[in-house]
Every structure is written in structure tokens, then in C-alpha cells.
Amino acid sequence: MGSLRVRFGLLVGSAAALVVLAAVGLYGALHTAERTLDATLDAQVRLELIAELSGRLTEFGLAAVEAVSDNPGRPERLANARNEVDRALNAVDEGVSRAVAGAGGVLDRTQYTARARPLARLRAARAMLDRQVAQIQREPEPGKRADAIRGALNAFGAVTGQPLTFLVEAERRAVEASAAEVRRLAARMRIVAAAAALVIVLLLVLLHQSLTRPILRRIEAIRAGAAAIGRGELDTRLTVASRDELGLLVASFNRMAARLKRREIRVAADRAALEDIVARATADLRGANARLEEIDRSRRRFFADVSHELRTPLTVILGECDLAARSPDTPDPFRPVIATIRKRALRLHRRVGDMLRVARSESGEIALERRPVGLAGILSEAVESCAPEAARRRVALVLEPSPADVEVLADAEWLRQIVEGLIDNALRHAAGATEVRLGFAARGTGATVTVSDDGPGFPPEAEALFERFRRGSTPGPAASGFGIGLALARWVVERHDGTIRLNSGGPGARVTLELPGEDVREDAA
């Protein structure tokens, strides 16, 4: 009894023994009940055969009367009635023979003999009436025949009545005996079932008290110890009460708790050292962040100062070009040169303005001036501004015109700048691209602008490119820049009540801008 295997084996063996005993008892009861039911059914069948025999005897008597009458009917009726009586007698005899105990039935030899004698008397009565009918048929006088057949029938009835009554009563008693046996068997089965249930319950309670309950108590102690360990009470130890499997488990539990305690002490020491390292690193990072913030502020200030400083001379150059172009004293050969200078100075002035807007966007000082503007002119300026870079990279830059100009409610300069930024991204990042297309079309009361290329498309982390200072993974010169173009584009488009999406399906990448029209803005107001 020192091993759990032995205890559980005893438990399972006891349960199996109970099941076997219950099965044997149930089998015996069912077998006895089956025999009793068979006896009852056989007696019922014999009763039906005896009832049929009684009817056949009556038909035989009527056929005999008809055979000796003055106007006999069908001559074969008496022979048929005789054959039916013999068949019924044989059927009853066979039923009684099958019920003999020696042949696997339910009757003993004495009961068989008691039933065989009445059957023999019935056969003799049938034969006697048959002979009497043959004699009466030879009597020439009708009166004497009538008297003779009447006397023969009375004698036939007296001879057959008692055996039939005996047979019916014997089978009725057999049915009653079978019914009584069934009732006695049911009573015995109820008593045996109640006693077996009581014994099984007592045995199960004994097994529970001696085997299951102690094991459950020890398992509960192990569970409580594990819960205490889970709460951090690593000093918890369990008592080893036996050397069975649960005792080995408890010993392993105690060793595990001791190891966890030692490990907790080491982890606490390592955590203290790590916190000291993290504190020093945090102080270094704060200093580095402060220096970076100062550098960033200096960069933005320099960016804004340079933009302001460049705008003044560019404004003067543009003014001088306008004066020279309008002056009648300017020689005609110089006018194209002045026009070129003005065009380049205007483009540079626009770039300086873009630089100033970017500087203001980084400091949160963006002011949008939204008004109805046509997309055709803005996109044409963007294509013209990016054409030199596209030519340098040998990439075709194509503007796909709309059937009609589309008017949107937007800040023209900011819209032009973000479109130029998207084209520049396509030129720099679409490795292997041979063509960049810029198109626009009406969409309800707004418009859709698309910038697409035939390059490899966006990387799987395309949505992350909208994060500030997040750059793509393209190596080489394409990776230049500060990673604020798409973030700035999303910020500006959302301030325009629009959306921007990156799509990469099949070859190439596509950026889609959806901008509201003037009607949308009026409804919003």
C-alpha cells in the first residue's frame, strides 16, 4: 500500500469486481426471467391450440350429423373435418412435447403424462365417432339414423368434454404459476438490487475514506503550496509524509521552492545593479536629448534665417528683371536672357518659400490660406519644377491632363509643395523606374490626385512611412532627406479635410490624394 499505483490498482480492481458481480447477477436474473416468460408464452400458445382443437371437434360433430342426414351435403366435408381434428390434436401434442423439461422446456415428465392421456382420449373419441357414423350411414330408416347420431353425439360430447376441460385448466394453472414466478423473481431482484446498492455504497465510502480522501488532502496541500509560491512566498515548504509518488512530488516541490528562493536573491541583486545602470544611461540620454533639441532648434533657426535672408535679394532680382523687361531701353537680344533670369529667380524664390514653410511646419507655425484653385495650374508648376531632376535621372515625367480643370478648396502653395515632394520621392526611391505619372480627376464635389511610377512598389511597412523622421529602406542616395515629406504631406492633406493613401498593387507604387471641393467646404461651414 506504499505506492499510489497499488492503491489505484486496488480501487480499479474493486470497481471492476463490483461491475462483474453486478453483471453476473443481472445475467442470472435475466436468464430466469427469460425462462419464466418462455413458460408463460408456451402455456398461452397451448391454450390457443386447445381452443382451436375444441372448435375442430365441434365442426367434426356437425359434419357427422350432416353426413347421416336425409340430404347429405358435400361428402368430403366429414373427411376434411376429421383431418382438421387430427391436425389440431397433433399441434397440441407437439406443443406439450416441446414443453418437456428434458427437452429444454418447462414441464417435467409427470406433467407431460398428465396432458398426454386427455389427448389420447380425444383421439379415441374421434375414432369412435367416426366408426359410429359409418355404421349409422348403413341404417336405411331415417328415424333410427337420427336417434343413433343423437346418441353418438351425446356420447362424443361426454367423452371429449372432460379432457378438454382438464387441458384448459392445466394450462391456465401453468400461466398462473409462471405469473407468480415472475412476481417472486421481481421481488427477489428488488431485494438483491437494494442490498447490492447498499453494499456498493458502503464499499465506495470505505474506499474513499481509505484511499481517495488522503490523496485528495495531500493534493490540496500541494495546490495551496503552489498558490503560495505564485504569490511570492518562496519560503513555503511542504511536509514529506510518505515515500510514494506524491511524497516524491512534494520533495521535488520543496527543492524547486529552494531554487526559486536562491534565484530571487540573485535576481534582486541583478535588478539593483541594472537599475543603477539604467539610471546612469537615462541621465546620459537626457543630456544627449537636450543637446539634440538644442541642435534641432539651431537647425530650424538657421533654416528660417537663411530663408529670410534669401528672400530679400531674390525679391530685388525679380523686381529688377521686371523693370528691365518693361523698360523700352533694354535691347531686344537681352530680353530672353532677362526672362530666363526672372524665371530661375522666381523658381528659387518659390524654393525659399518652401524652405520657410517647412521650417514653420516643424515649429508648428503653419497657417493655411484655403481658396478655390484649379488643379491644372498647380500640377503643371509641380511637373515643371521637377522636370530637371527627372531628366537627370532619365525618368519620363508625364502629366495626364483631365478633360476639364478641377477646382478644389486648398492652399495653392502648400498643395504644390506636397505634390512636388511626392514626385521627388517617386524619382528618388523608385529604383529601376522609367516613368512617373501625375494625374487628377473629379470625384464628386472634390478631386483625386495620383502620383504613380512603374518601380518595385512600396515596402510591406508602407504605412509606417507616414511617421515623422521615418525613411524608406532604399540604399544609396535615395535614402537622403530627413523623413518628414510624407508626414508633412499627411498633415497638410488632413488640414484640407482630405485623405492620402499609399497603394502598391502589382508593378509600381501609387500615392492618392483626395481633396474636397468648394461645395464640401461650404457645407462644413
Question: Is 110 in contact with 141 (CB distance < 8 Å)?
Answer: no
Nearest-angstrom CA–CA distance, 502 and 505: 10
For every residue of 79-122, which 3-state class applies, written as one string?
Answer: HHHHHHHHHHHHHHHHHHHHCEHHHCCCECHHHHHHHHHHHHHH
Query: Residue 277: what pLDDT?
Result: 92
Under DSSP, the state recorded for 432 is: T
Separation CA 422–CA 500 (nearest Å): 11
pLDDT in tens, the chain (525 residues): 456 667 667 777 777 887 788 788 777 777 777 777 777 777 778 778 888 888 888 888 888 887 777 566 566 787 888 888 888 888 887 777 776 654 345 566 677 777 778 888 888 888 888 888 888 878 788 788 788 888 888 888 888 888 888 888 877 887 787 778 778 878 888 888 888 888 888 887 887 777 777 778 878 888 888 888 888 887 888 887 777 777 788 888 888 888 888 888 899 899 899 998 999 898 888 888 888 777 767 766 665 666 666 666 777 777 778 777 777 877 778 778 787 787 777 667 666 665 665 665 555 556 678 888 888 888 988 888 888 888 888 888 888 877 888 888 888 888 888 888 888 888 877 666 778 888 888 877 788 888 888 877 777 665 656 665 445 544 444 444 434 467 778 888 888 888 988 876 556 788 888 888 764 333 332
168/300 Cα distance (integer angstroms): 126
Buried b (16+ CB within 10 A) or exposed e, 85-107: beebbebbbebbeebbeeeebbb
Task: With beta carbons less than 8 A apart as the criterion, state whether 300 and 356 touch.
Answer: no
Tell me the backbone φ, ψ of residue 400, rounded to 5 degrees.
Answer: -90, 105
pTM for the structure as a whole: 0.37
Strands lying side by side in the sheet with 396-400: 396-400, 435-443, 446-453, 510-515, 499-503
Which residues lie closer than 8 Å to 500 by C-beta, 6 or more apart?
Answer: 466, 486, 489, 490, 493, 494, 511, 512, 513, 514
DSSP letters spanning 292-354: HHHHHHHHHHHHHHHHHHHHHHHHHHHHHHHHHHH-TTS-GGGHHHHHHHHHHHHHHHHHHHH
Q: List Cα–Cα distances, 5 to 2, 214, 216, 240, in angstroms.
A: 9, 15, 15, 18
Q: Is 217 helix (H, G, I), strand (E, B) or coil?
A: helix
Alpha-carbon distance of 75 to 64, in angstroms, equals 10
Residue 517 CB coordination number (10 Å):
19
Task: Give the architecture-level CATH label for domain 9-206.
Answer: Up-down Bundle (1.20)
In DSSP notation, 109-163 reads HHHHHHHHHHHHHHHHHHHHHHHHHHHHHT---HHHHHHHHHHHHHHHHHHHHHH
CA angle 211, 217, 222 (to 5 degrees): 125
Task: Give me the CATH code for the 369-524 domain, please.
Answer: 3.30.565.10
Contacts of 224 (CB under 8 A, 6+ apart): none
Q: Which of 111, 122, 211 is nearest to 160 (CA)?
A: 122
Would you state the pLDDT for residue 228? 86
Cell reading at 182: 415472475
9-206 and 369-524 share one fold = no
Separation CA 493–CA 522 (nearest Å) = 18
What pLDDT sits at residue 480?
A: 41
Cα(518)–Cα(406) distance, rounded to whole angstroms? 11
Cα–Cα distance measured from residue 74 to residue 63, given in angstroms and rounded to the nearest whole number: 9
Residue type, 26: L
Domain boundaries, the chain: 9-206, 369-524
The answer for residues whose C-beta is within 8 angstroms of residue 166's C-beta and 6 or more apart is: 118
Q: Using CB atoms within 10 A of its CB, is residue 317 exposed (0-12), middle (13-18) or buried (19+)?
A: middle
Q: What angle do CA 86, 90, 91 make, to 5 degrees?
A: 115
- Alpha-carbon distance 226 to 236, whole Å? 9
Provide the terminal-to-terminal Cα distance of the chain, rounded to the nearest Å: 89
CA–CA gap between residue 167 and residue 119 (Å, rounded): 9
d(CA 443, CA 449): 10
**DSSP, res 467:** S
Residues 6+ apart with CB under 8 A from 294: none
